[in-house]
Chains A and B, each alone.
Chain A
């Protein structure tokens, strides 16, 4: 996992939740393109957080090989659906699986940066405590963060230790009567489980914005 700060000519700023595409071109003209969520809040220096995937074509380069001053092609910002604006008054429930937390962290950073008053809660599902990114920073952003560690827990762990299910959602999520805004990001299976569970809790599907990602590396 590595966070890269980018300087992009002509970059006009972005909204919390958007992503960008990185395109690499080899000497023989072969191109590989991948999407990465923007980790930084609007107004902060543009940054992406990249998880290295074995046998990936783009992520190993971005995590292991790229150096300060290197250049590559970027397209974006992308997305007008999976975005949150800090002026919206409704409570915000963020549900992230693995590196799906990246665009949600941009929303949390944005709220902290401009002093947003909407209640915000993050439910973060990670395989292990070590795999959970931004832990220290999330603790300083003034939102409620609930972890569930699905594969391995540190000694003395008293938090959740299973995949997201309806009971866990019922205990963590705002009641449906609060009419919260929801952003869910993670693998397809994770996103579908969380969104379907929230609908069973009485959430209107229109409150729930989802972004599925595939591990194409």
Chain B
């Protein structure tokens, strides 16, 4: 049986640093679905998809998706109510 490929927000710390220019793994992030507030490092991250999918560890709703293209990256934050910096 293969290992489940769920990682956590630590795994995209470098990507977020590159896109936003700041360290974000310790930033609390609020799920738009259930309202849970967790640091980015504590969210479930799937990297085996086209792009990156970040899900709430409580209700499993999609909170963030990131798709990188050759010129720019598209970040969808519609599942995130807030991010504290």
- Residues of A near any B CB (own CB < 8 A): 19-21, 33, 35, 75-76, 78-82, 187-189, 209-216
Contacts and interface: CB of A to CB of B under 8 A. Distances in A.
A86 to B, nearest CB: 18
A195 to B, nearest CB: 10
Majority SS of interface residues in chain B?
A: mixed
A187 B13 CA distance: 17
Contact of B14 (A76, A215, A216): A76
B10 interface: yes
Given A188-B7, A211-B8, A212-B6, A82 B41 contact: yes
Given A79-B41, A81-B25, A81-B41, A214 B11 contact: yes
B3 interface: yes
Contacts of B4: 188-189
B13 A19 contact: yes
B10 A82 contact: yes
Interface string B35-58: 000011110000100000000000
A17 to B, nearest CB: 9
Given A81-B25, A214-B47, A19 B3 contact: no
A75 B40 CA distance: 19
19 contacts: A19-B10, A20-B14, A33-B14, A75-B17, A78-B17, A79-B10, A79-B23, A80-B24, A81-B25, A81-B42, A187-B3, A188-B4, A188-B5, A211-B8, A211-B10, A211-B41, A213-B7, A214-B3, A214-B7
Contacts of A216: 47
Contact of A80 (B3, B7, B26): B26
Contacts of B71: none
Contacts of A215: 3
Interface in B36-85: 39-42, 47
Q: List the 4 closest pairs (A to B, CB-CB), nearest first.
A: A80-B26, A81-B41, A21-B14, A78-B13
